[in-house]
Amino acid sequence: MSDFVDRVTVHVKGGDGGNGSAGIRREKYKPLAGPNGGNGGDGGSVIFEATRNATSLLDYRFMPHRVAPGGTMGLGDNKDGTKGRDLILPVPCGTVIFEARGPQGRPKHPGEQLADLRHEGDRFVAAAGGAGGLGNIALANRTRRAPGFALLGELGEERDVILELKSIADVALVGFPSAGKSSLIAAMSSAKPKIADYPFTTLVPNLGVVVAGDRRYTIADVPGLIPGASQGKGLGLEFLRHIERTEIIAHVIDCATLEDGRDPMSDYEALEYELAEYAGSLELPLGAIPIPERPRIVILNKADVPEAKELAEFVKPEFEKMGMRTFIISTASHEGLKELNFALAGMVAEMREEVARREQAEEEARVVIKPLERQARRRRVADEGGNALEFSIERKENGLGEFWFEVTGRKPERWVQQTNFDNDEAVGYLADRLAKLGVEDELRRKGAKPGDEVRIGKGDRAVAFDWDPTIAAGAERLDDAPLGARGKDLRLEEDEGRARRRTNAERRREYHEMMDAKAAVREAMMAERKAGHWADPSIDDDRHDEKSLFGRGE
C-alpha cells in the first residue's frame, strides 16, 4: 500500500462566534444601573500553510474533517469573550486548492481554483471564523438605554475543498515503463525508490536531491507514460500534473528494449505527443514557462548492454540535430552520470534565473487595486429600476403552486443569524434593521402582500416567516399583547410609577400613609372587640354572609 497521497477532499469549518451578553449592572440602591454585557469572541479560521516539512497529503485522507475552535460568550461587567485560535494546517509546497463540486454523498470533482501555495509560508484562509455577537452595552444608545437582548455569534464558514499536490522539482524524468528512471534517481541521489524488472513498478512520484559541486537541485521520477496517458490510460494521467512545476524535462529512453515497434526516436516522439496533449489543458501559474518551451534533455540509458550502447551512439547525432543535449549513460555501471549531473545543474541555474525574471515581470505588469485608507462602501446590487440595493429579492415557486419571496444579501443573512428569536425585543430590533435597509419597501414593490411567506437566506440557514408589514417593529407581540416600542425599557419609564426610583420625600409620604392606614384598621378592630361581636355567635354582623349561623344571605 502506497503512502503517497496527492489529491484529497477536505471538509473545513471555521469556528462559530460567541454570543454577546445581555447583563445588567446592579449596585446598592440601583437594581438597574445600566447594561454591562460584553461582546462575544470571534471564531477561529481554518488556514492552509505551505511548508517544506510536509511531503504528502496523507494526514488529510485519514482526517478529512477539520474544524477551528469557536469564540467564547461575552460576560457581565463588560468582559468580552476570547477569540478562537486559528487552525493552521500544513501542506507541501506546490499544493493547489480547488473548490469541491458535486452532489452530497458523491465523490467531488475540482471546480474553481482558490489558491496556489507554491512557496514556503504561503497561506490561504479556507474557512473564515464567524464574528462574535455584540453585547447589550454596545447596542445601547440615547433611546435604547438598557437593551434587554444581545446579538448571537455568527456561524463559521463551512465548505469542501480539494487539495491537489503538484510536486515542485527542477528536473522531471519522463519515459516509458522500465526505462530506468527509478534507477537513475537512485544512482544520482540518496532516494531509495522501489526498483524491479516489470512495468509500472513506480506507482508514486519520487523526489531526490542531487548535489553537483556547490549546487543543489531536485529530480522528480514520474511514473511511466504510455501512448494515451493524457486521456487516462495507464498511470500517466494521475501523475502528469507533477511535471507542471518542473523547469527541465529529461527524456529517459531505454535503448535495450526488445518490444516490437519501439526505438529511441519513436519513444521520444510518443512522449512528446502526450506532453503536448496534456499541456493544452493546463493553466500555468504566474511566471511559469509553458511545457512546449521548456528545455529538453535526452538521456540514452542502459549503455552497459553492448547492443544498447551501439544503438545509443547511432541515434545520438539525430537528437543533437534537433538541438537537444544528449547523454549516453548506464545506471548499472554509472557511466556518464557525472557529466549528466553537472550538465543538469547548469541548466537548472539558468532556468531559475529565467523563472525569477518572468515572475518579476509579471508582478510589475499586474494591476493591483488597493482599498483606500478610508472605509469604502461595499459594492451594491443594482435592482431592476437602477437603484442600488444591498440585497436582492426574488419570487420563487415550486411545482405545487406554492410561492415565497427569497431575500438574499450579506447584511440580511448576517442579521438573521445574529437574532435570538426567543426575545421579542431582539426580533423588533431585527425588524427595524430590515425596514431601515429597505427590505419592506422592496417587498411591496415586488408584489408581496400581508401573509405571504418570506425567506431570508438560502439552504439550511434560511429563516422563513409570514410577512405582516402592518405591525410596527417591536410594537406588539405575536399574540397581540401590547409591548413598549423597541428601544424603551418599561423598567425605566417614569410613567410606570414604582418602575422609577422614588425620592426620599415620596418614600416618607408613602410610609406615613401606610402607618395611618394600619392605625385605622387597629382602631376599627378594637371597637368591634369591645362591642362583643367576636364573642357572641348569635350576633349577625354581616347580613350578606350565606355561611353565617342564620344563613340569611342577602
In this predicted model, which residue has the larger pLDDT, 78 or 400? Answer: 78
Q: Where are the domains of the chain?
A: 7-165, 169-362, 391-474
Q: Is the dihedral of CA 287, 291, 296, 302 positive or negative?
A: positive
Q: Which residues contact 137 (CB under 8 A, 6 or more apart)?
A: 35, 36, 37, 38, 78
Contact 369, 379 (CB under 8 A): no
Q: What whole-number distance in Å separates Cα of residue 72 and Cα of residue 40? A: 6
Annotated binding site for GTP: 175-182, 200-204, 221-224, 301-304, 330-332
Mean pLDDT computed over 500-519: 86
Q: What's the mean per-residue pLDDT of the chain?
A: 78
Question: In degrees rounded to 5, what are phi and psi of residue 394?
Answer: -130, 145
**CA-based radius of gyration for the chain:** 40
Question: Is the CATH number of domain 7-165 3.30.1360.170?
Answer: no
pLDDT in tens, 256-310: 877 777 788 888 888 888 777 766 655 555 556 777 778 888 988 888 888 888 8
Mean pLDDT computed over 11-24: 93
Q: What is the pLDDT of residue 203?
A: 54
Annotated binding site for Mg(2+): 182, 202
Q: What is the pLDDT of residue 534?
A: 59
Q: Cα 103 from chain centroid?
A: 19
pTM of the model: 0.66
Q: What is the pLDDT of residue 153?
A: 92
Strands 215-221, 171-174: pairing kind? parallel
Q: What is the pLDDT of residue 367?
A: 62
Has residue 51 got a pLDDT over 50?
yes
Contact 123, 193 (CB under 8 A): no
Reduced to 3 states (helix: H, G, I; strand: E, B; else coil), residue 288 is coil
pLDDT in tens, 399-449: 777 888 888 888 888 898 888 888 888 888 888 888 888 888 888 888 888
Q: Which residues pair with 124 in a beta bridge?
A: 48
Task: Please give the CATH architecture assigned to the domain spanning 391-474.
Answer: 2-Layer Sandwich (3.30)
Task: Write b or e for each residue in 205-215: b if 16 or more Cβ atoms lie within 10 A of its Cβ, otherwise e.
Answer: bbbbebebeee
Annotated binding site: 175-182, 200-204, 221-224, 301-304, 330-332
The x, y and z cell numbers of residue 538, run together, are: 348569635
Between the alpha carbon of residue 336 and those of residues 304, 309, 328, the distances in Å are 11, 12, 6
Q: Which helix (H) or strand (E) holds 161?
A: strand 158-165
Q: What whole-number distance in Å separates Cα of residue 32 and Cα of residue 439? A: 35
Please tell me the number of Cα atoms within 13 Å of 64 on its side-chain side: 12
pLDDT in tens, 56-74: 788 898 899 999 999 999 9
CATH assignment, 169-362:
3.40.50.300
Q: Is the dihedral of CA 311, 316, 317, 322 positive or negative?
A: positive
Q: Cα 3 from chain centroid?
A: 28
Q: What whole-number distance in Å separates Cα of residue 344 and Cα of residue 294? A: 13
390 band by pLDDT with thresholds 50, 70 and 90: confident
11 band by pLDDT with thresholds 50, 70 and 90: very high
Q: What whole-number distance in Å separates Cα of residue 379 and Cα of residue 113? A: 23
Give the position of cell 528545455.
295
In this predicted model, which residue has the larger pLDDT, 461 or 444? Answer: 444
In terms of Cα–Cα distance, which of 487, 485, 467, 465 is closest to 476? 485
